[in-house]
Amino acid sequence: MALSVGLLGFGTVGQSVARLLVERTDGLLTLTHVFNRDVARKRVDWVPASVTWTDRIDDVLEGGVDVIVEVTGGLDPARGWHERALEAGIPVVTANKQLIATHGQALLARAAARGVDLLFEAAVGGGIPVVRGLREGIAGDRLTTVSGILNGTCNYILTRMESAGLPFDAALAEAQQLGFAEADPTDDLEGYDARAKLCILARVGLGLDLSPASVQAESIRTISDDDFVYARRLQATIRQVSRVSVVEGAVEARVGPALVPLTSPLARVIGSQNLIVAGGAYGKETTFAGYGAGGFPTAVAVVSDLLAIARRSGGAPAAWPGTSAPAAVGPLTVAPYYLRLVVRDQPGIIASLASIFSAHGINIDAVLQEPGNTKERLPFVITLEACPTSAMAQAVAQIATLPFHVTPPLCLPVLA
């Protein structure tokens, strides 16, 4: 069934979607409307003259289109546009991760009530078909974990720090210059972008209706080039890892930097690529990998969703699995830890630290110190055996009050 498409947003992703649509020759998809603020400056000559350009949303929502594509981002006014389209019986395809993470359950219920599609493959993993893979490809398994690298900006920064020995600020500036990071990269660096994607994957793969605010998110801004030196000594590296799991009925979820062994698939993800691993009770681990950002990879996911609607020839949309909200969401329960300190050297530092760890029932595994640093700024690392996260948090809070720190302590979980 041929579909007329109304496109909301003509930024990087919107332009890529439009390009894919106008270059198609199979007749299944036709771009008929483009909506954008200040639309006059967005016009391009490669879009057919038959397309209506507008900065009035009603021109699209009431313009007789068969399907809406929303790539503007943000919660409002995008949520209202989704609701109006779905109420009118118009399917919606979106790349809006924050909206689906925050209001996806209500929007999916509205779509189901009206018997239309709400598809969002492009909201997670760019061109990686992970949503469809979880929903259809391994739906026969009982998934217990979803984890991976979900933010290409952070992965680019961390892998450049690792490979080139760059300080954090230099790696960020390079990412911004190359277009891998926004002028304001807060959502990426603080873990909010990856957290929204993780909540979507939890809904699709694990049947969990997680609020993004319930998931612990930690910044990568605290990572220094020193940390990669010590990570290498531990046969590991550092990545921003997103993970949600169901352990004996309890839900654990976290987004943030972690040490991962060099043998892990996560350690081999470089640049702006993404990798997602789904762990199941029967099929064990299934991995999805590819480019998780960029105009064209994301546009491929959008157009793939459009084609899924077109090829159903008006049939009823496939049902989404049921979800439930967990009673509580916690961080990792137990893990080994990496603790990096930068201190003004003085007698008794190790003794003070050992006393605090002992008081919290935490065993020291090793103490590492690279040569060549001054006593005024002396970095070193302590690795800790597996311990409760709550005990480690209390110990680090107490350690942070000691008077010899040059920079705040950095504590990272060490993943298997």
Q: Which residues does the annotation mark as catalytic?
A: 197
Q: Which residues are CB-neighbours of 327 under 8 A, at least 6 positions away?
A: none
* Cβ neighbours for 275, distance < 8 A, ≥ 6 positions apart: 148, 149, 265, 266, 269, 287, 288, 289
Report the C-alpha gap between 110 and 266 in whole angstroms: 37
What strands, in cross-sheet order, belong to the sheet with 364-368?
A: 364-368, 378-388, 334-343, 405-413
Number of other CB atoms surrounding residue 351 within 10 Å: 8
Cα angle value 98/241/211 (rounded, 5°) = 35
In angstroms, rounded to a whole number, what is the distance separating the alpha carbons of residues 82 and 75?
10
Geometric angle at alpha carbon 125, from 120 and 130, rounded to 5°: 70
Q: Is residue 197 classed as helix, strand or coil in its secondary structure? A: helix
Give the Cα separation of 104 and 79 in Å (integer).
10
Q: Rounded to an integer, what distance in angstroms lies between the CA atom of residue 410 and that of residue 102?
A: 30
